[in-house]
């Protein structure tokens, strides 16, 4: 049997206060990892870490904004062991291309591209310094593989993340560091739930998800555990599409 155990390993998950990030952190903890939950809201992230500890697992809160490049690097350098890094923090401002403002661009690109790049860099530097290899998982999107109306800005950042992953996987492979992405379809989270109050948008979305339902956070945690564990030890530079068939055609 392949091993999905993370016993004895340490993992950092960004954007872990809620939604996909929190679910991944909980799954990693249940698989045996000591998990560092990272988010900018101290109270939210401490509550999430406390809930994991109350369930009998190992978790610590790391209240830091990933857009604070120097602060995040210092926080990562302060962790004694780093085996898994989940580059999950992200955002979106859906708008028609011709209506995107500079503020929109700055907000989305700053988190999805700039912060994601330097967070990955910080994790890679720490893993190289520790000399133990590791797994870096970036949360991309099906929109990193296709286009869609009102998603030009989001697509630009996620396609960029896919390119970063392929390039980084080549540079980091000699250090035993694997770099992959998870590419979800629409997952019901606090961030996406307001979109589905529009019946037309909901219907259009479900028509493109061939399996006929919206994703749930539990649909992503299995892919994350697979990429974090030795079960995926020969995978790097790859994208795991958890999209219900959206990108199949």
β-pairing, 134-139 with 10-14? Answer: unpaired
Is 166 annotated in the active site? no
Residues 6+ apart with CB under 8 A from 150: 94, 95, 96
Beginning with the edge strand found earlier in the chain, give each strand of the sheet holding 59-63 in spatial order: 59-63, 34-39, 10-14, 84-87, 134-139, 177-184, 239-242
Lookup result for tokens 């080549």: 170
How many other C-beta atoms lie within 10 A of the C-beta of residue 243? 23
Clarify whether 58 is annotated catalytic. Answer: no
Q: Is 133 left (phi over 0), alpha (psi -120 to 50) or beta?
A: left
Catalytic residue among 95, 102, 105, 154: 154
In the set 95, 105, 158, 166, the catalytic residue is: 158
Nearest to 146 by CA among 246, 3, 9: 246
Q: What is the C-alpha separation between 198 and 158, in angstroms, rounded?
A: 24
Q: Are strands 84-87 and 10-14 parallel, antiparallel or unpaired?
A: parallel
Residues recognised as catalytic: 154, 158
């Amino acid at each position: 049997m392949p091993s999905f155990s993370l016993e004895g390993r340490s993992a950092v998950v960004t954007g872990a206060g809620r939604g996909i990030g929190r679910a991944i952190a909980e799954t990693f903890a249940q698989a045996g990892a000591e998990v560092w939950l990272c988010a900018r809201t101290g109270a939210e992230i401490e509550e999430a870490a406390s809930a994991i500890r109350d369930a009998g697992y190992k978790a610590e809160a790391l209240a830091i904004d990933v857009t604070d490049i120097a602060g995040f690097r210092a926080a990562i350098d302060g962790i004694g062991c780093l085996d898994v890094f989940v580059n999950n923090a992200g955002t979106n401002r859906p708008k028609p291309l011709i209506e995107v403002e500079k503020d929109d661009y700055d907000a989305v690109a700053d988190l999805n591209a700039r912060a994601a790049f330097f967070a990955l860099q910080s994790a890679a530097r720490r893993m190289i310094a520790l000399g133990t290899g590791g797994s870096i998982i970036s949360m991309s999107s099906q929109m990193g593989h296709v286009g869609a109306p009102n998603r030009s800005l989001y697509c630009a950042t996620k396609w960029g993340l896919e390119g970063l992953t392929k390039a980084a996987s080549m540079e980091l492979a000699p250090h035993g560091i694997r770099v992959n992405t998870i590419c979800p379809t629409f997952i019901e989270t606090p961030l996406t739930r307001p979109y589905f109050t529009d019946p037309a948008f909901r219907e259009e979305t479900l028509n493109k998800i061939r399996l006929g339902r919206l994703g749930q956070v539990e649909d992503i945690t299995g892919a994350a555990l697979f990429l974090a564990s030795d079960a995926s030890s020969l995978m790097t530079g790859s994208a795991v599409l958890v999209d219900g068939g959206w990108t199949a055609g």
